[in-house]
Amino acid sequence: MIWWLLSISYGWSEPLTVATLNLGHGRGTGVHQTFQSQQAIQQNVDRVSEIISPFSVDVLALQEVDTRAWWSGGWNQTQRLGDGLELPYVLGGTHSQKAGLIYGTGLLSRFEFAQSNTVSKRSTFPLPPKGFVMATMMVEQQPIVVVSLHLDPIRAAIRKQQVLSLQHALETIEAPIIIMGDFNVEWGAELEQFCTILNVSAHQPLEAWVTFPKLHRRLDWILFSDEIEVLAYETVEQKLSDHRLVVATVDVRGDVLD
C-alpha cells in the first residue's frame, strides 16, 4: 500500500533499489587477494551474491572488481555477480590493465543500458589508475544515469581531477543522476565541493554510517541529483570485504517523468 501511494505521488510504478560495494577483488575480509586461493576468492564472490540477493537490487555499482586477474583464476567477477543476482545487464569499467591484472569499476542492472562510458585517470604513484564507469539506463522509457566511481585514496588534488573528469562526462546530461562508489573521503569541505561540482547531494551526510570499519569511516557514498527522492538508505554490516554494502531505495519526481 505504501509503494502504491508513492507511485501516485511520484509518477513511478515502484521504487528503485540501488547499491554500491567496493568488492576488494573478492578477498572477503582477508588482508590481500594474493594470499587467498582462487577457490576462496570465488566463494567470497558467491557469498556477496547471497547477501545482496534479498535486497532485490535493481542497480549495483562495484569498485575493485576484476574483469580478468591471475589471482582469481582469470574469470570475470562482474559477470559472475550479474549471473548470481540475476541482473542481466553488465558493464565492466577497466582502469588497470597491467601484469595480467584487468580490473576497475562495474555496473550491474536490471534495466538495459542505452549507452555507456568508461574513464580512467591517474592516481597517486605508484597506485594504479582509478576512474568511473557510467551508463544511461532506460526505466519505463525514461533515462536515468548511473555511475560507479572510485577515487584516489591519498591525495585530495588527484581526487578533484578525477571528479572534474566525471563533471565533464555529465555536463550535457539531462536526466536524473545517481553516483555511487568509494570516494575515499568522509563528509567535509572536500566532498561538499564534489557535490557542488557534480550538482548532486548526499543523503544525511552527517549521519555516522560507517562503511570502512577498519578506520571507522564513511567513505562509500550514493549521491543523487535533485530529481531523486530517497525513501530509504542503509549500510549493511555483513562482512563482504573491507568495505560495507550501501543500499538506497529511491523514487523520481513525477514532473521529471511527464
- Digit-coded pLDDT (tens) for 157-177: 999 999 999 999 999 999 999
The CA-CA-CA angle for residues 166, 215, 80, to 5°, reads 55
Measured in Å, how far apart are the chain's first and last C-alpha atoms? 23
Q: What is the pLDDT of residue 182?
A: 98
- Digit-coded pLDDT (tens) for 62-111: 999 887 766 677 678 899 999 999 999 999 888 777 776 777 899 999 99
Average confidence (pLDDT) over 45-53: 94
What is the distance between the alpha carbons of residues 128 and 97, in angstroms, rounded to a whole number?
A: 9
DSSP 8-state assignment for residue 188: T
What is the distance between the alpha carbons of residues 21 and 182, in angstroms, rounded to a whole number?
A: 8
What is the distance between the alpha carbons of residues 186 and 194, in angstroms, rounded to a whole number?
A: 12
The CATH number fitting domain 2-257, selected from 2.160.10.10, 3.20.20.450, 3.40.50.2300, 3.60.10.10: 3.60.10.10
Average confidence (pLDDT) over 230-254: 93
- Mean pLDDT of the residues in the chain: 87
- Digit-coded pLDDT (tens) for 7-39: 333 344 689 999 999 997 767 676 566 557 677
Q: What is the pLDDT of residue 32?
A: 67
